[in-house]
Chains A and B, each alone.
Chain A
């Protein structure tokens, strides 16, 4: 309806005459409207980032007002610290272990939910539940299921004499597997949503043509589905790599980095430095290092993405 009114109005009077004059005043209004965002981004992102970079070069206690410039000392001392190598290794194991499990769960489930069957819509909706619940709930329920006196999985592991510890979060060898499992349970639906969205864009005629040419199911998957998914797999792969890398909640709530540091990832390591040892400067130096690791990984993903785009377009 609005469109017809506008067309009539356009026919009635030439738009140029009113357009010009309003434009210049309007542009000022437009700039004014951008102001809140600019102020907030400067105050809430640019300033904090500058501050964290400054802090990284200063010796600064968490609550103290004094700070002294120490150059690269903070970087030297955190990298030299015995826990650094361990938490870098833990972070990579956690990040890519989770990524692998999330992909391994997300892709087949997306392929399944892309078929048509009764109750598909509600099943797709409910599949998101674990992604929607708070991290504290995800961590709490798994911790509860594996808890010693009350856990149902704890009981079954013992009853069926399974070759895994009944309380994996307290086990030296299995704690990492446990936190990866919970992180993947929490986040795999994200993969499912994105893959499903992409699967729906694939032209059905491709599959029909392939069937006519006698392609097997596996060939169709390998030649049509997988190449169509590859670019988006790299994009979500990058997003989830970053998010897994930055994840603090899962490990903090389940193991607090223990037992004896076996699951301490970099965000927890930073947290411990700052709020356990009250060294804001060293924590900031670590945070800057984390930022650069993420930046390098993002660039690598971006290169791979461009290559995938070129190859399959």
Chain B
């Protein structure tokens, strides 16, 4: 509720309002209702394609080809999900992606945490410029980095290695985590740590017991954020992975789209739904942290 809309406020005792004010309140409420309808209509732009994917993933194959297309199927089936799970390598792809994203995001967050801590607490000016200059890594064309990375991992005979892919993803997760974590750590009063250290904590203990809990929302936000970005990434995995068993989820779906015949659309839709679920789940789980992280990053970053 905005402050300039006192009539709509539920806390206002309605009885004391004059008829005129009550009419104004009713009009206001009607306007808000119309605005909500507009917003919901606009929301359909985002939701309809995703809804269509979800609805289609439960349709039997015959119905996928039916014209005119049915909106919701009368005979929902899990056959595409079963097929995906039993007869394709997708379970493997999910495991691969969880591993790669987990490793690179965890490493990214930990390294960012100690870097930001060091920069904000010890005040190295050059380091500060350096660390936040690396945000520009994020501006580099991924294709520009993909070429030398291909060559580097080829020379090290580490193409098709999930470790190599995870390390490569640090170019994405590090700048992001640094950017998100900085305002959180800068906001922690130094007095808190000093107090802990005067009370006998070592610097490491102070870091663990003061900084980490205080920055926890930021840590969660940067982990979630980078996880989503890595989960969605395609180009590096396309370039570095050719072994069928080492694919990530995005690469698996890309291969399905690029190699598939029209007959497996149900399968592709099911894969798309499963690839979307972890992202939306994480977002819902960390929505508050992400919102405040975004805001804090935008203002101070």
B-contacting residues of A (Cβ < 8 Å)? 2-3, 5-7, 9, 15, 18, 26-27, 29-31, 33-34, 36-38, 40-41, 44-45, 47-49, 51-52, 55, 62-63, 105, 109, 112-113, 115-120, 123, 125-130, 132-145, 147-152, 155, 159, 185, 189, 193-194, 197, 204, 208, 242, 245-246, 248-249, 252-253, 256, 267, 270-271, 274-275, 280, 283-284, 287-288, 290-291, 294, 298
Contact A48 B148 (CB under 8 A): yes
Contact of B134 (CB < 8 Å), options: A7, A45, A118, A128: A45
Provide the bound-state CA to CA distance between A18 and B194, in Å: 11
In the complex, what distance in Å separates the CA atom of A54 from the CA atom of B265?
Answer: 44
A297 to chain B minimum Cβ distance, whole angstroms, is: 11
Residue contact A155 to B272, C-beta cutoff 8 Å: no
Q: Which residue of the partner chain B has the closest CB to A270?
A: B143
With A134-B250, A135-B250, A139-B257 given, is the CB distance from A34 to B147 under 8 Å? no
What does the 1/0 interface line of B9-21 toward A look like (CB < 8 Å)? 0000000000000
19 additional A-B pairs beyond A30-B118, A134-B234, beta carbons within 8 Å, are: A3-B192, A5-B195, A18-B198, A44-B168, A48-B148, A52-B144, A113-B39, A129-B47, A136-B253, A137-B272, A141-B272, A142-B49, A148-B262, A149-B65, A185-B49, A204-B4, A249-B234, A267-B143, A280-B151
Which 7 A-B pairs rank lowest in CB-CB distance, beginning with the nearest? Answer: A30-B122, A6-B195, A48-B148, A33-B118, A134-B232, A117-B35, A6-B191
Closest chain B residue to A271, Cβ basis:
B143
Complex: A105 Cα to B139 Cα, angstroms? 24
Given contacts A3-B191, A26-B203, contact A34 B253 (CB under 8 A): no
Residue B82, interface by CB 8 Å: no
Cβ of B139 to closest chain A Cβ, rounded Å: 6
A136 adjacent to B265 (CB under 8 Å): no
Instruction: Confirm or deny: B129 has a beta carbon within 8 angstroms of a beta carbon on chain A.
Output: no
Q: Which residues of A contact B115 (CB under 8 A)?
A: 33-34, 36-37
Complex interface: chain B residues within 8 A of A113 (CB): 39
Residue in B3, B4, B122 with the greatest tally of chain A CB atoms within 10 Å: B122
Distance in angstroms from B237 CB to nearest chain A CB is: 11
Q: Quick check: A134 and B276 within 8 Å, CB to CB? A: yes
Task: Return the contact of A132 from the options B117, B124, B140, B279 (Cβ within 8 A).
Answer: B279
Chain A to chain B contacts (Cβ below 8 Å), 8 pairs: A2-B210, A30-B122, A34-B115, A41-B130, A51-B148, A135-B234, A150-B69, A274-B150
Flag if A31 contacts B124 (CB, 8 Å): yes
Contact assessment for B144 and A44 in the assembled complex, using a CB-CB cutoff below 8 Å = no
Contact of A9 among B5, B111, B195 (CB under 8 A): B195
Binary contact readout B105-137 vs A (1 if CB under 8 angstroms, 0 otherwise): 000000110110111011010010011001001
**CA distance in complex: A116, B1 (Å):** 6
Residues on B with beta carbons closer than 8 Å to the beta carbon of A130: 46, 49-50
B199 proximal to A (CB < 8 A)? yes
Residue from the set A115, A150, A204 with the largest chain B CB neighbour count within 10 Å: A150
Contact of B38 with A by CB under 8 A: yes
B212 beta carbon closer than 8 Å to chain A: no
Q: Complex formed: what's the CA distance from A143 to B44 in Å?
A: 18
Q: Which residues of B contact A31 (CB under 8 A)?
A: 118, 122, 124
**Interface contact B143-A204, CB-CB below 8 Å:** no
B170 close to chain A: CB less than 8 A: yes
How near does chain B come to A189, taking the closest CB pair, in angstroms? 7
**CB neighbours of A288 from chain B (8 A):** 144
Contacting residue for B250 out of A126, A132, A136, A248, CB 8 A: A136
Say yes or no: is B24 at the interface (Cβ < 8 Å to chain A).
Answer: no
B43 at interface by CB-CB < 8 Å: yes
Question: Is B265 a contact of A144 with CB atoms below 8 Å?
Answer: yes
* Cβ distance A298 to chain B, nearest Cβ, rounded Å: 8
Known contacts A40-B170, A116-B1, A136 near B147 by CB under 8 Å: no
Docked-complex contact A144 and B294, CB < 8 angstroms: no
Residue of B nearest to A134 (CB): B232
B55 to chain A, nearest CB (A): 10
Contact of A115 with B195 in the complex, beta carbons under 8 Å: no
State whether A274 and B147 are in contact (beta carbons under 8 Å apart), knowing that A126-B46, A129-B50, A193-B294 are contacts in the complex. Answer: yes
Query: Is B196 part of the contact surface with A, judged by Cβ < 8 Å?
Result: yes
Measured CB to CB, the closest approach of chain B to A45, in angstroms, equals 5
On whether the beta carbons of A134 and B283 are closer than 8 Å, the reply is no
Give the chain A neighbours of B117 by CB distance below 8 A. Answer: 33
Question: Which A residues lie within 8 Å of B295 (CB)?
Answer: 197
Q: Of all chain A residues, which has the CB nearest B294? A: A193
Chain B residues contacting A45 (CB-CB under 8 Å) are 134, 137, 140, 145, 171
B-side contacts of A143, CB under 8 Å: 257
Is B91 interfacial (CB-CB < 8 Å)? no
Q: Are A291's CB and B43's CB within 8 A?
A: no
- Residue on A with the closest CB to B197? A22
Is B268 an interface residue, CB under 8 A from the partner?
Answer: yes
